[in-house]
Structure 1
């Protein structure tokens, strides 16, 4: 038996009555009535508590009555909500909010293959991006990412721009090999570490396809080894370098920069020769064999014309060979063969998707 200050086991101060306990059910009734989670429970607990309080001479009568009143009101509201559909609407609103919050991302949380939309301009996506189904209209699609290495300190925005532009062009090209499936208003973009995020350890560059001027697009642009068969992949790997070289023609004409134009013509010739050789080394299935053979024949002629262009000795000779070289290069780069292989057979309008 514990010792009490007054020397007698269990003794209480003189002239002061024993302390009355508070009924637990009364407390439970009030709490249930306040939180409104299980209003009938609060009502039941309060009704059971009242006779117990009287019988055991406990405190908590006010708590029980308050719990009964609050629970009764909550029960009434619950019945009305179920009858009018208000509870369902509130739940749906809550669920929608949770879903939207779960879909919110920053570019540094995006993963390859995810499609996203954002409020505001493209450069504002860093603060408000929402992951959406690629079948729905969206603003961008993630092609991949890479980590920046080789810098002990923040290298500056310009240095990161150069690095991201170069690397993301390759990342995007590998992700969307069927370039004709890319809408004309969709281009290569990227998100890079800022000076502030660099301090927190951020080294990730996210490469994306994104639409200009908020023109949304639908459907995934992904066409790589995960979505293409062997024949489709081989055709695109073989032919795409020609398309890439075409878009790299120097802005200055041969009279202004003959050396750059001649170098470009030589690079395009290499792409043409590699394509016509590669196409001849593969066994093409079914209906694709004939159109692929026709494309290869066209490339044979193009090789001869571009060889003359690349071998021009001066600007005048370059101009003399220029038109015939372009005329020999198949404008559609094998549209019939692409269609036969199940690829996109119609090129997008405009200047393509090179960044």
Structure 2
């Protein structure tokens, strides 16, 4: 034996014991099937019917379905060794409660009441719109009257009280960028006045305190491509009932012709300058000339048409009144200065028939009395 080689251990009596399982430091290897071993093979699945039962029970839309799915799922889970027993039991419980509530609701009428409330809410939601979605002839309630920009309106039946009625829509053109509120407002005022006049020709049928109303794009909606201006009539105080529509689609040819002839006198009359002749004589004199032109045009056009039945006589009388008024307004429009203007002002207004042919309107089947006897709105 080499003295430099280590000596071999002497085997114990009976020999060396059989080697145990291989282990690595800190990570013992556990053979499959031993206590604490992780099972080998695919993971256990969750029963789909159990999931369906729980979902049906939670949403309460089909409680009997959730109950059935849960009862079918339990034996499947046991037979197949699947997971989901707790889900199935929870689904069965929730579905049972939902079924009980459904029966109670049907017996007491509570379900019917809830369904009616749901339908009413859905109907109201479907009628809630942005002002930009309004269309000609629709009546609406303004939900944001206290805000600078209205974001929501509700379309309603024109027969019930409402805040406004749409007369037409036009697009703002000719602007490469947002023109500013003042320019947009000026354009809307002018265009909507024309649209309103064509929509409600029988101006005396417009309720008192109902005036021109419109919705403009804001600077923010302009960036998104909004160019629509919604024109209409709106109540300055209380809501009004009934449609104000009286255009060529709702009037007879004689009615629309008469109104188209005399309405410009009213329209120009409402444009009288705010400043007195002493402050702006030129503006007042120009306005008197415009009203004179409207009077002369009406007198001439009324004589160009044959008027039916009982309306012929009253129309002829109206022409005589307009001829007398024309003389007074011609003198007013030719006034040399503010003093001369004031001298002829009252006589000019007194010569113009206040009712603008009430008898002719009656004969033609039009409204023959201004709202509350205070004039008209255009």
Q: Same fold (TM over 0.5)?
A: yes
| 1:150-189 matched pairs, under 5 angstroms | 150-189=174-213
CA distance in 1, matches of 2:81, 2:273: 98
Q: Which has the larger radius of gyration?
A: 2
How many residue pairs were aligned?
341
* Root-mean-square deviation over aligned CA pairs: 2.6
Rounded Cα–Cα distance in structure 2 between residues aligned with 1:291 and 1:72? 80
Q: Displacement, 1:32?
A: 2.5
Contact 1:144 1:171 (8 Å CA) reproduced: yes
* Separation in structure 2 between the aligned mates of residue 56 and residue 190 of structure 1, nearest angstrom: 70
Q: Distance in 2 between matches of 1:70 and 1:139?
A: 47
Q: Distance in 2 between matches of 1:68 and 1:248?
A: 76
Residue of structure 1 equivalent to 2:103? 79
Q: Which runs of 5+ in 2 are unaligned?
A: 1-30, 34-38
Q: Would you say the 8 A contact 1:107–1:125 is kept in 2?
A: no
8 Å Cα contact 2:172-2:229 kept in structure 1: yes
State the alpha-carbon separation in 2 of the partners of residues 41 and 275 from structure 1.
77
The answer to whether the 8 A contact 2:143-2:154 is kept is no
Q: Does 1:91 align with 2:77?
A: no
Is residue 205 of structure 1 aligned with residue 229 of structure 2? yes
CA distance in 2, matches of 1:342, 1:125: 40
Alignment gaps of 5+ in structure 1: 1-12
**2 CA distance for matches of 1:270 and 1:55?**
99
How far the C-alpha of 1:286 sits from its partner, in A, is 2.4
Give secondary structure in 2 for the equivalent of 1:189: strand
Matches within 5 A, 1:77-156: 77-119=101-143, 121=145, 123-124=147-148, 126-156=150-180
Q: Secondary structure at the match of 1:65?
A: helix
| In 2, Cα distance between equivalents of 1:339 and 1:83 | 60
Measure how far apart 1:134 and its partner are. Answer: 1.0
Name whichever structure is richer in helix by fraction.
1
Partner of 1:248 in structure 2?
271
Structure 2 SS opposite 1:130 = strand
Q: TM-score, normalised by structure 2?
A: 0.81
Q: TM-score, normalised by structure 1?
A: 0.86
Listed one character per residue, the Cα deviations across residues 12-65 of structure 1 (whole Å, up to 9, x for unaligned) are: x97558766655444433333232222122223333444555566655544443
Structure 1, residues 133-178: CA drift from partner, whole Å, max 9, x if none? 1111011111112111112211211111221221121121121111
Residue aligning to 1:342: 365
